[in-house]
Amino acid sequence: MSNKRTNLNGRDFIVVGGAGYIGSHVCKVISEHGGRPITFDNLSTGHAHAVKWGPFENVDVRHGANLDAAFAKYPEAKIVIHLASSIEVGIGEKHPAEFYDNNVTGALALLNAMRRAEATHVVFSSTCATYGETENMPLLETEPQNPVSTYGKTKLAIEHMIQSFHTAYGLNYVTLRYFNACGADASGDIGEEHDPETHLIPLAITSALGQRGKMKIFGTNYDTPDGTCIRDYIHVSDIALAHIDTIAAFDRGLDTAEVNIGTGIGVSNLEILKTIEKISGRPLPYISAPRRAGDLSKLYADPRKAKITIGFSPKHSDLRNIIQTAWNFHSKAPRN
Ligand code: UFG
């Protein structure tokens, strides 16, 4: 039986932020399913070496005229996947102007360019950070959205913007609220390359590789079985496949949806460190550090709506596979 979810029959898809961590994996699966991904990216955080599966347009999402010129080259592309945004939560607190400009102004410019180009569908990368503080786990899509961080607030503003564009202009959309993206493509060629890196798994792996100091674990006295925070880690290749499932759902006539993209399984920070030790065969000592502001003790998805609405369920998110693929990626020589 084929592993392919659908056949994209040579169609063009605009992937805004296609040079980034998640975007490059989305481009790869579009290509594997017979489509052509067109990357729009300004390379501010993405990498030229991660654009391998289709044309590249160097455009900033905030520049309407440049977007128009890029869209004009691909008139057949009707579905836009929007992943470009500022994502580092701490930087958002220090520089909200930059976050609102890049994320919210950028999304507005993109949606307006889509209208001019007569693109009809958008897949938007949102986040579990739009829900805010709650004890209600697993998280359902109906949970009130009260984001704590500037990052979550900008993503929620865009969710609302897209809903208004649907009502007024008929834009079809699926908003994917990702949980913790992690892992790397099985080839080891693309993976997580943030600068600065703040995420648990890449930091812990580079610690185990001896490329940085001891790992600090932020909070070891939470009300969880081992005292450390619990998150829902979803493999980036699964997140990418959720976009293929979304395209297939659009093709079946889906017009709007907001869905969680997670596994439904909570994993603690210490379980992550132990799995890295097991896979790598290297010790990974850590220091107990104070809690990080804004961290919830537990955060994991109710994944049922994604299965029902777009037919998505994860295939690559076994914790060992997540750590193995991330380890393979980070063990390779540094990229340019
Ligand atoms: N952590 C450490 N030490 C580190 C880094 C992280 O203990 O050096 C802990 C964090 O405190 C947290 C867990 O590891 O308990 C996971 O932290 P990450 O920074 O890897 O991920 P987050 O859960 O904070 O962030 C993710 C996404 C964000 C999104 C957020 C929503 O990466 O984009 O979920 O809560 F906003």
- Residue 231 Cβ < 6 Å to ligand 1: yes
Inform me whether the pLDDT recorded for 228 exceeds 60: yes
Query: What is the average pLDDT score of the chain?
Result: 96
Inform me whether the pLDDT recorded for 269 exceeds 70: yes
**Range 147-155 average pLDDT:** 95
Please tell me the distance between residue 76's alpha carbon and the centre of ligand 1 in angstroms. 39
DSSP codes, 320-336: HHHHHHHHHHHHSPPP-
Please tell me the distance between residue 196's alpha carbon and the centre of ligand 1 in angstroms. 13
What is the pTM assigned to this prediction?
A: 0.97
- Residue 234 Cβ < 6 Å to ligand 1: no
Return the CATH superfamily for domain 12-183+233-264+302-315: NAD(P)-binding Rossmann-like Domain (3.40.50.720)
- Residue 99 Cβ < 6 Å to ligand 1: no
Catalytic residues: 151
- Residue 326 Cβ < 6 Å to ligand 1: no
Q: Which helix (H) or strand (E) holds 291?
A: none
Q: Give dist(CA 214, CA 77) in Å, integer.
A: 47
- Pick from 282, 280, 266: nearest CA to 320: 280
Please tell me the distance between residue 194's alpha carbon and the centre of ligand 1 in angstroms. 13
**Range 92-112 average pLDDT:** 97
Strand ranges for the chain from DSSP E: 12-16, 36-41, 56-58, 79-82, 121-127, 172-178, 180-182, 215-218, 230-231, 233-235, 256-261, 267-268, 286-289
Q: Whose CA is nearest to atom 25 of ligand 1?
A: 180
To test the pocket of ligand 1, the residue of 133, 218, 270, 288 to mutate (highest count of ligand atoms within 8 Å of its CB) is 218
Inform me whether the pLDDT recorded for 3 exceeds 80: no
**Range 166-176 average pLDDT:** 98
Q: Whose CA is nearest to atom 14 of ligand 1?
A: 200
Please tell me the distance between residue 334's alpha carbon and the centre of ligand 1 in angstroms. 23
Domain ranges of the chain: 12-183+233-264+302-315
Q: Whose CA is nearest to atom 20 of ligand 1?
A: 199
Inform me whether the pLDDT recorded for 334 exceeds 50: yes
pLDDT at position 336? 43
Going by pLDDT thresholds of 50, 70 and 90, the confidence category of residue 2 is low
Tell me 225's DSSP state. T
- Residue 162 Cβ < 6 Å to ligand 1: no
